[in-house]
Structure 1
Amino acid sequence: MATSKKKTRANGDGTVYQRKDGRWEAAGYVLAPGNTRKRIRVYGTTRKEALAKLTEKIATSNRGLPAPSAQGSVTAYLTYWLENVAVHHLRENTHTRYTSCVNRYLIPGLGKKKLTKLTAKDIRTWLNQLRTTCQCCTRRIDAHRDQPRCCAAGTCCSKRLSPLTLAYIHTVLKSALEHAVREEEIPRNAARNVRTGTPRPRRFEPLTADEARQFLTAANGHRLCALFELALHTGLRKGELLGLRWEDLDLDAGTAAIRRTLQRTATGGLTTLPTKTRASERRIALPTRCLQSLKLHREQQQRDRDAAGAEWQHSGHVFTTAQGRAIDPTNLTRTFTTFLRKAGLRRIRFHDLRHSTATLLLEQGVELVVIKELLGHAHIGVTATVYAHVRLRLQREAMTTLGKALNHP
């Protein structure tokens, strides 16, 4: 009679067993901060789930990444999260902004607290204090100025953080603590129980139809005229415009595939990246005016290529410098500002061209869902929120029209 042999796990793979409450628990040793090792425990509803969690943590440890310690401070965990987790999931520029937020606000405000002892009350109290404190005083900004004009001069300027900045700080903290929950370092995300209020959308100044015509007239004849026409007719983001390649355009069918964006990063310089979100990757229809200007632009680019000769650097982009290189977003902004001045228009952001497109489309009666797809918003709620003031104004105009009809048959 054959004897059954008990299945055992290799040394270092940890142990898995079922608890009295029915859940499965897996335990093993992983790398900890300070080049030490610590025993961790993970849980699951099945043996397979608990084992998978433990295997993932041991694999991470074997790659030399230390596991965070819940007994450590918030500073220690945030540092671990930025250096070992967020850096692999965020774009470089986003990671830079997160790092700045952590170092400027989160660590000075909450860094000394133990991760496991951090409560919603701690976070809410700190955010309320941050909301009412002058940043010149708190961060000693005034002390480093050549000519003090706030605290160091004896008069506080009451420079407070905007609601949008406070909401951003709260979002970064929530993201960090959410990962701590997933890694079972803490039982719950204390930041989720804190309400910061919904900040008002950032104000923008879209161009009117007359102003848009003035702007295009000022840009007419410039080598990037086609870019500005495309921006105003389609609402593409600056990075999406600069990231366009000729292979993305089908001028015969009159469509453009938006697949990538061009950004400048600290380490990579001008870098082509995927679109902002999955919803941002889309195919849009091109109006006749843009198709004509793009065909003329292609001919002009060929003339530039012939003139540059051996100095031409083929990048495949639709919009390039006179030598074929990708255009730096900052340089495009300078050109844009020049045309605003030439047209006698107020100074606005390049991104406000995108808002101008959406606003003008709304005023022409185009449905919100069509604008959402054109702009590449992930959810229609985003479109509705950003352009709520436009819809409200159109409602008032509609009610006025109806009132006139009812009062004067």
Structure 2
Amino acid sequence: MSDIYRRCGCRRDDGRLYGPLPDRATAAQKATACPILQRDPKHGTWGFAVSGGTHAGSGKRIQVRRMGFATKREAQLERARTVDQVASGGFRGDRKITIGEYLPSWLERRVRDGLRPSTERMYRRYIEQDIVPSIGRIKLAELRRFHVDRFIQDLTGAGRGATTVRRIHASLSSALTAAERLSLVDTNVASKIALPSTGKKKTRIWEPETVREFLDFASTWRLAPVFELAVFTGLRRGELAGLRWVDVDFTRRELTVRQQRVQVGREVIEGAVKTDSGQDRRVSIGGEAVGALVAWKLGQDAEREAWGDVYRGDGYVFTYEDGRPLRPNHISRTFDTIVERSGLPRMSFHDLRHEHASLLLSGGVDIAVVSKRLGHSTIAVTSDLYSHLLTDANRAAADAAESILPPRSRTHSAHTMASNENKGPGLSSETLATTGGGE
């Protein structure tokens, strides 16, 4: 059957539309077409139908139909252009699919590709509660920057925080980038959108004396070793919760960070650590951290013996009394309680990670080593987070460079001062000679 045809808006006696009349129609096709089409070449308009690939979500074949051409020649030319776009990969897929239909299929693909459960939960919440209710009915191919801009403005006007608005925008932009890569849209229209500014969050850290005061106050609590290890290693909460005894090497005095346990709602999920560079990283530990782990292991062994057969030991380092691994939220809640009762300045558990970085940088440890211990993706991330601490390190470096040289002799110092007095407020003779200013 020819895919070039004519069609009109005439209806049969039963109210149904007549069928199309293909360019090379069979007797059966003529029987269902409008009788006027068959005798009047100017009646109706021309159109075509070609295959346009498969649906982005369902995988079903897409049939591209175009109508409204005044002549057969116009329909043939447009058909040829469409076929060429499909063959070259430039055809913009199913132009009927809406944002609301596309986003779930995009998210499912991300999940299959290994998207972290916590990130999936965040994306799904933003899609279902924010994006789809606002712009879900708009066709993907018809979404424009003014749609996205108005959506962002509406979120801000509704009182949503700048950080949340940016995350919602990032979710939509990621989906549209994938649509552009799949040739479903011409470009990512979420790019170049004005977003609300977020003030740089100041990292809160305690002075070293306050850290020691906290550790002393927390020493009577069962989870004290968890907090000691957080201060002395900078491990994330999920990494501490996922630490196993097989990852602890007392001989080498180091930990290997192989997995993390993150809390998504009420569910705790174990998986790879946050960054590729942080995966399987080795973190050396000092004597105090080793002592804390040894004390914890002795206590855990005693609990195992006390609980007997009902003890649930799976090899995790930090567990409840019955051997179950600690839930990440339990660690944070216990920390908050201790801080509140101690009367110390408020901090979150995650701030202990910043505390570790601060202690290292203040002690003159190279930023590359700090970045490696923390498992940051790049040194630039570490530098951006702790730039205020690097200022002090720079000052200390300047003093250290001068301290290497032997002190000036008294004779030289007196001569220099006398020369400067003779020259008045201008440059010294040594400086003039060096710069060429004495010529």
Shared fold by TM > 0.5?
yes
Does 2:171 align with 1:130? Answer: no
CA contact (8 A) 2:52 2:61 kept: no
Distance 1:101 1:400 in 2: 51
Distance 1:39 1:277 in 2: 43
1:360 corresponds to which residue?
359
Q: Map 1:129-208; keep pairs closer than 5 Å.
A: 129-131=154-156, 133=157, 135=158, 160-196=159-195, 199-208=198-207
Displacement, 1:117? 1.9
Q: What is the TM-score of this pair, normalised by structure 2?
A: 0.68
Displacement, 1:203? 3.4
Distance 2:219 2:255 in 1: 22
Range with bigger deviation, 27-36 or 302-311: 27-36
Evaluate the alpha carbon distance shift between residue 32 and residue 331 of structure 1 in structure 2; reply closer, same or farther with a 3 A threshold: closer
1:93 corresponds to which residue?
118
2:145 corresponds to which residue?
120
Q: Which amino acid aligns with 2:249?
A: D
Distance 1:173 1:126 in 2: 11
Q: Map 1:8-407; keep pairs closer than 5 Å.
A: 30=54, 37-39=61-63, 69-82=94-107, 84-88=108-112, 89-131=114-156, 133=157, 135=158, 160-196=159-195, 199-266=198-265, 269-281=267-279, 282-392=281-391
Evaluate the alpha carbon distance shift between residue 71 and residue 104 of structure 1 in structure 2; reply closer, same or farther with a 3 A threshold: same
CA contact (8 A) 1:42 1:184 kept: no
Displacement, 1:259? 0.7
Distance 1:393 1:130 in 2: 40
1:23 corresponds to which residue?
none
Count of residue correspondences? 339
Displacement, 1:163? 2.5
Displacement, 1:387? 1.6
CA contact (8 A) 2:277 2:377 kept: yes
Distance 1:118 1:316 in 2: 52
| SS state at 2:269 partner | strand
Range with bigger deviation, 364-373 or 236-245: 364-373
Distance 2:329 2:101 in 1: 36
- 1:336-368 CA-to-partner distances (Å, cap 9, x unmatched) read 122213322133211011111112222222222
Distance 2:252 2:265 in 1: 38
Q: Which amino acid aligns with 1:92?
A: P
1:140 corresponds to which residue?
none
Displacement, 1:36? 6.0
CA contact (8 A) 2:57 2:102 kept: no
Unaligned runs of 5+ in 2: 1-50, 65-81, 402-416, 418-439
Q: What is the TM-score of this pair, normalised by structure 1?
A: 0.72
Evaluate the alpha carbon distance shift between residue 192 and residue 395 of structure 1 in structure 2; reply closer, same or farther with a 3 A threshold: same
Structure with max Cα Rg: 2
2:19 corresponds to which residue?
none
Distance 2:246 2:336 in 1: 29
Distance 1:321 1:363 in 2: 35
Displacement, 1:252? 0.4
Q: Which amino acid aligns with 2:147?
A: D
CA contact (8 A) 1:74 1:113 kept: yes
Evaluate the alpha carbon distance shift between residue 98 and residue 245 of structure 1 in structure 2; reply closer, same or farther with a 3 A threshold: same
Evaluate the alpha carbon distance shift between residue 71 and residue 367 of structure 1 in structure 2; reply closer, same or farther with a 3 A threshold: same
Distance 1:237 1:303 in 2: 27
CA contact (8 A) 2:230 2:352 kept: yes
Displacement, 1:270? 2.7
Evaluate the alpha carbon distance shift between residue 127 and residue 398 of structure 1 in structure 2; reply closer, same or farther with a 3 A threshold: farther
Q: CA RMSD in A?
A: 3.7
